[in-house]
């Protein structure tokens, strides 16, 4: 099973350049997000999981993406304010990225390769596709956009 390269550079929503090494030894749920999507209320479920399991080693990493129906048109500031005001998001959010095509961010290149979708498809189909990564960095599985955060709680518990 493939492992996520924790030295992969990322930029936080506030503009800080960093990498994933701060999450070494943690269970990760990595999600491409959008503020104007029918699935946006999943922020509520993601935040509930984060509040319940963060102290046990869960990190949820949000990566806004505007590739699906232009449903994340705002600036990083707009996204941050939306997430805080509407859903009280306290888990780490990152700068807007691409998850498909030539500009696919390195994190999602790794995730898609290691955990393909239905029938082996590599592409991300829509906002709120979720990837579960074990404490040792092994990319465990992919969850469809329609899979609600509460429906993957047992999978998260198994990794903690």
Stretch 70-95: mean pLDDT: 95
The verdict on pTM exceeding 0.95 is yes
What is 9-159's CATH number?
A: 3.40.30.10
Extents of the domains making up the chain: 9-159
Give the Cα separation of 28 and 150 in Å (integer): 15
Q: Please tell me which residue in 29, 31, 34, 37 is annotated as part of the active site.
A: 37
Mean pLDDT taken over the chain:
95
pLDDT score at 118: 79
> pLDDT tens across 92-129, in order?
999 999 999 999 999 999 999 999 887 778 899 999 99
29 in helix, strand or coil?
Answer: strand
Establish whether 83 is a catalytic residue.
Answer: no
User: Could you report how far apart the first and last alpha carbons of the chain are, in Å?
Assistant: 18
């Amino acid at each position: 099973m493939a492992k996520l390269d924790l030295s992969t550079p990322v930029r936080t929503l506030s503009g800080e350049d960093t990498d994933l090494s701060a999450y070494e030894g943690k269970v990760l749920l990595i999600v491409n997000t959008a503020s104007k999507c029918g699935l946006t209320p999943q922020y509520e479920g993601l935040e509930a999981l984060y509040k319940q399991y963060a102290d046990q080693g869960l990190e949820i990493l949000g990566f806004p993406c505007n590739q699906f129906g232009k449903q994340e048109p705002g600036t990083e500031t707009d996204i941050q304010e939306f997430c805080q005001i509407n859903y009280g998001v306290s888990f780490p959010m990152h700068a807007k990225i691409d998850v498909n095509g030539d500009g696919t961010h390195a994190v999602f290149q790794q995730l898609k390769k290691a955990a393909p979708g239905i029938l082996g498809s590599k592409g991300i189909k829509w906002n709120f596709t979720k990837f579960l990564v074990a404490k040792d960095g092994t990319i465990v599985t992919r969850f469809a956009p329609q899979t609600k955060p509460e429906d993957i709680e047992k999978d998260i518990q198994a990794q903690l």
